[in-house]
Amino acid sequence: MKIVTIVGARPQFIKAAGVSRELRTHHREVLVHTGQHYDYAMSGVFFEGLNLPAPEVNLEVGSGTHGTQTSAMLQGIEKVLIEERPDRVLIYGDTNSTLAGAIAAAKLHIPIVHIESGMRSFNRRMPEEINRVIADHLSNLLLCPSRTAVKNLAAEGISKNVYLVGDVMHDVLQWALGRAKPLAAETISRFNLNPNGYLLATVHRSENTDNPEQLTGIVETLNNLDEPVLFPVHPRARKHLDRINYRPAANVRMVEPLSYFEMVIMAGDARMILTDSGGLQKEAYWMEVPCVTLREETEWVETVDTGWNRLTGSDPEKIVNAVRNFQRPESHPVLYGNGHAGRQCVELIEQN
Ligand code: UD1
């Protein structure tokens, strides 16, 4: 089978690493990078670290408004699909690259496989929610990481070719944990921190970064916490932090975005994680690190139900309260699969 895979943003490189290896043992994959993320720290370092094959095509679309960015991707992907005539198009998650891949493939009647299908925040102000809804409704094979995702699809009338496979990010994390271990001591001391003696914070969602009041609320709270905070800064956040003229206090270490292995190490050894990222909420759970989610809702509701994740939004009082008074749950049920989601995805692609 010939499969065109569309990736473009950081979390998609990680997800593709969990599937590509498996896919390429029996099939021909053409990896298309839209160029949504283009800085080395956001893209190249992931291809190297995760042993992802170099993309066969890079559309070099870059940044822009949603319309500009998505339409440039759509044109580029359509051209590749017409030339390659693949049997399937594989898309991941909920970014503008996912949306463009779905629309281009659907119009050319090429069956679409969506990995990480069925996630919903029920907040249509999130660009990702719009991308997910459209991608799911155009997809022919819907591969879900959780039972909740399967139910979400059913509630929208989608039940055909829907499968629960678990989360491919879990596969990649398991693969990385052993490899990261020997690098842990050196990495933590490079940041001048001690295991379990710091918080890890990330912010990049538009609802947090684009609103000066909300962003100020979050970063001033980091300044007021009485323990070290490692704060790797996404380029979107960097721009907005410059705009609000943020000055980190002595406890906050603002650093460039981390590589995947650095993130696995620094997240695993953090006392607690504060984030608005979806991927990091799950990684925190799998590594049994308490998480504070800087959003009003989450798609990964099971992490909250089990007591390992607390939603605080950008409210300084709620964030401080969660950081100081978090009660570590006694149980840690298995969530989002058994670490073999990638193989299941490939088997289902072959059967459908
Ligand atoms: C995108 C996804 C989001 C995902 C995130 C992971 C959409 C709508 N959003 O958000 O779901 O969680 O990626 O990181 O697709 N920029 C750089 N260098 C880069 C990449 C981006 O400077 O390598 C800057 C751009 O100039 C832009 C900003 O970061 O101003 C945002 O980039 P964009 O690709 O629009 O979305 P993300 O915020 O990264």
Distance between CA 125 and CA 153 in Å, rounded? 19
94 CB under 6 A from ligand 1? yes
Q: Please, are residues 290 and 323 in contact by the beta-carbon 8 Å criterion?
A: no
Which structure tokens are listed for 183? 């690098």
Residues 91 and 135: beta-carbon distance below 8 Å: yes
- Which of ligand 1's atoms lies nearest the C-alpha of 64? 35
210 alpha carbon – ligand 1 mean position (Å): 12
Rounded Cα gap, residues 54 and 133, in angstroms: 29
pLDDT tens digits, one per residue of 90-129: 999 999 999 999 999 999 999 999 999 999 999 999 999 9
Homologous superfamily (CATH) for 2-167+337-351: Glycogen Phosphorylase B; (3.40.50.2000)
To test ligand 1's pocket by mutation, which of 34, 37, 131 has the most ligand atoms within 8 angstroms of CB? 37
Q: Is the CB of 167 under 6 A from ligand 1?
A: no
- Backbone φ and ψ for 83, nearest 5 degrees, come out as -70, -45
Distance CA 140, CA 348 (A): 12
**Ligand 1 pocket, residue 127 CB under 6 Å:** yes
Closest residue to atom 25 of ligand 1, CA basis = 63
Q: How far is the CA of 343 from the centre of ligand 1 (A)?
A: 29
Measured between alpha carbons, how far apart are the two ends of the chain, in Å? 12
Which residues lie across from 282 on neighbouring strands? none
Dihedral pair phi/psi, residue 89, rounded to 5°:
-115, 130
pLDDT digits (tens, 9 = 90+) for 243-300: 999 999 999 999 999 999 999 999 999 999 999 999 999 999 999 999 999 999 999 9
What single DSSP character describes residue 126?
Answer: S
Tell me the pLDDT band of 75, cut-offs 50, 70 and 90: very high
Rounded Cα distance, 76 and 82, in Å: 10
What's the pLDDT score for residue 107?
98
pLDDT tens readout for residues 315-334:
999 999 999 999 999 999 99
Q: Are 261 and 183 in contact (CB under 8 A)?
A: yes
pLDDT of res. 130? 98
At 279 the pLDDT is: 98
Assess whether the C-beta atom of 344 lies below 6 angstroms from ligand 1.
no
Please report the DSSP string for 228-258 in residue order.
-EEEE--HHHHHHHHHTT----TTEEEEPPP
Predicted local confidence at residue 144, as pLDDT: 98
Proportion of the chain above pLDDT 90, given as a percent: 99
- Which residues lie below 8 Å from residue 193, measured CB to CB, with a gap of 6+? 228, 230, 253, 266
Confidence of residue 50 (pLDDT cuts 50, 70, 90): very high
Residue environment code for 289-306, b if the CB has 16+ CB neighbours within 10 A, otherwise e: bbbbbbbeebbbbbbbee
Tens digits of residue pLDDT in 27-38: 999 999 999 999
Cα separation, 22 vs 101, whole angstroms? 21
What pLDDT sits at residue 47? 97
pLDDT at 264: 98
Residue 122: per-residue pLDDT: 98
Mean of pLDDT over the chain: 97
Average pLDDT on 168-183 reads 96
pLDDT in tens, 203-250: 999 999 999 999 999 999 999 999 999 999 999 999 999 999 999 999
Q: Ligand 1, residue 97: give the atom nearest the CA.
A: 15
Mean pLDDT over residues 18-45, rounded? 97
Q: Is the CB of 10 under 6 A from ligand 1?
A: yes
Q: Which option is the CATH number for 174-325: 3.40.640.10, 3.30.1120.80, 3.40.50.2000, 3.40.50.920?
A: 3.40.50.2000
CATH 3.40.50.2000 domain position(s) in the chain:
2-167+337-351, 174-325
Tally of helices (H runs) and strands (E runs) in the chain: 16, 13
pLDDT value, residue 8: 98
pLDDT of residue 39: 97
Per-residue model confidence (pLDDT) at position 121 = 98
β-strand pairing of 252-255 with 229-232? parallel
- Give me 198's structure tokens: 């710091």
pLDDT of residue 111: 98
Q: Which residue intervals of 27-94 are DSSP H helices?
A: 44-49, 66-84
DSSP-assigned letters across all residues of 263-325: HHHHHHT-SEEEE--HHHHHHHHHTT--EEESSS--S-HHHHHTTSEEE-TT-HHHHHHHHHH
Ligand 1, from 34, 63, 119, 294: best to mutate by most atoms within 8 Å of Cβ?
63
From the CB of residue 104, how many other CB atoms can be counted at a distance below 10 Å? 25
**Beta carbon of 15 within 6 Å of any ligand 1 atom:** no
Cα 183 from Cα 42, distance rounded (Å):
21
134-167 pLDDT, tens digit each: 999 999 999 999 999 999 999 999 999 999 999 9
Task: Please list the active-site residues.
Answer: 204
37 ligand 1 Cβ < 6 A: yes
| Shortest-distance Cα residue to atom 35 of ligand 1 | 63
User: Do 111 and 141 touch, CB atoms closer than 8 A?
Assistant: yes
Residue in the structure block whose two tokens are 């052993």: 178
